[in-house]
Amino acid sequence: MDGFRIPLGQWIEAVVDVLGDTLGWLFDAIANVLGVVYESLEWLLQTPPFWVIIALLAALAWWAKGGKLAVGTALGLLVIVGVDQWDAAMDTLALVLVASAIAIAISIPVGIWAARDDRVSRVVRPVLDFLQTMPAFVYLIPAIIFFGVGAVPGMIATILFALAPGVRLTELGIRGVDAEVVEAGHAFGATPGRILRQIQLPLALPSIMAGVNQVIMLSLSMVVIAGMVGAGGLGGEIVRAIGRINVGLGFEAGISVVILAMMLDRITSALGRDGHARRVSKARTARDAQDAAGAVSRIPTAA
């Protein structure tokens, strides 16, 4: 083994150098756009008094699921205010929302494509494995090279890390749609686009929403790592606490992350069960009631 070494690292460096030289303008553009979007959202969340934001999020929770979640959301956010992490939490929320939105915007179309084409699926799968298992810190290095320090490289790393479940669950959901129903679409002469819109996406929605939920959760788990490259927010607070060995600050910022995570998880998973699933459970109840009413359901043959 003496002297033999695969110069994989050097190759990657070379690739990164070439990318930096040739596509620098593109990365700059991406950095600018992401930066602007992030800052706008951050401004939107931080400008109004905290109770306005809390009221809005509680209302969202109410709409998505109900009163209990609304109360829980409000109480949780008040705790964040109470431990003086509100501004950092809003920074983090903005970062998570932007990164998740972009990850979802990429992963759902890719998932659809993979579901419709086995070859795409075969190519995408190992790429997803790579993205999901490569230690997240590793993305930070080229991200810093391409995008400098701040929220943007944090978001890029977050997006790459969070893509996989969105793609996987979208593909799984669409492939899991009852083949006979899709066949029915074909048999009545529907175009593939219409079948996607009217049959596959609506029926795969619970699975796709589970993917969205996972994307958001993974994004949140990246905030600390993003904090290391100067993304600020709760991640920045935690990094600061590590530097000062400040248990109290670390815990306060940490519990704020937990509260945000629980809130986002409950709201998005409630949205996933919305529509189809909710209507089904309602239908079940109705049918049970009908069965209980006896054999009224038997209809006369002579139509």
Partner 1 sequence: MRAAVAGPAEVKHVSSVPAVEAKNLFKVFGRNPKDAVRRLSAGQSRAEVTDSGTAAVIDASFRVEPGEIFVVMGLSGSGKSTIIRMLNGLLPPTAGEVLVNGRNVTTASSSELRDIRRTSVSMVFQHFALLPHLTVLDNAAYALEIQGVGKAERRRRAREILEKVGLGDRAEAMPDELSGGMRQRVGLARALTAGSDILLMDEAFSALDPLIRREMQEQLVELQRELGRTIIFITHDLNEAMFLGDRIAVMRDGRIVQNGTPEEILTDPANDYVAQFVQDVDRARVLTASAVMEPPTLTTPVSAGVRGALRVLRSQQAGAVFAIENRRLVGVVIDRAVIRAVKSGQGDLRQIVDTTVATVGPDDLLVDIVERAVEAAVPLAVVDENRRLLGVIPRVTLLAALGNVPAVTREMPVIQSPIDMVAQFTPLLDEMSGVTATPVAAMAEGGVR
Question: Segment 17-46, which members bind partner 1 (CB under 8 A)?
Answer: none
Q: Which is closer to partner 1, CB of 84 or CB of 291?
A: 291
Cα 303 to Cα 301: distance, rounded to the nearest angstrom: 6
Size of the site for partner 1 (CB under 8 A): 30
Does 287 interact with partner 1 (rule: CB under 8 A)? yes
Q: Which is closer to partner 1, CB of 85 or CB of 170?
A: 170
Q: Per-residue x/- mask for partner 1, residues 187 to 226, rule CB under 8 A?
A: xxxxx--x---xx--xx-----------------------
Q: Which is closer to partner 1, CB of 22 or CB of 297?
A: 297
CB of 222 to partner 1, least distance (A): 34
Question: Segment 159-178, which members bind partner 1 (CB under 8 A)?
Answer: 178
Question: Segment 259-278, which members bind partner 1 (CB under 8 A)?
Answer: 275-276
Residues of the shown chain interacting with partner 1 in the complex, contacts defined by CB under 8 A: 178, 180-181, 183-184, 186-191, 194, 198-199, 202-203, 275-276, 279-280, 283-284, 286-287, 290, 297, 299-301, 303
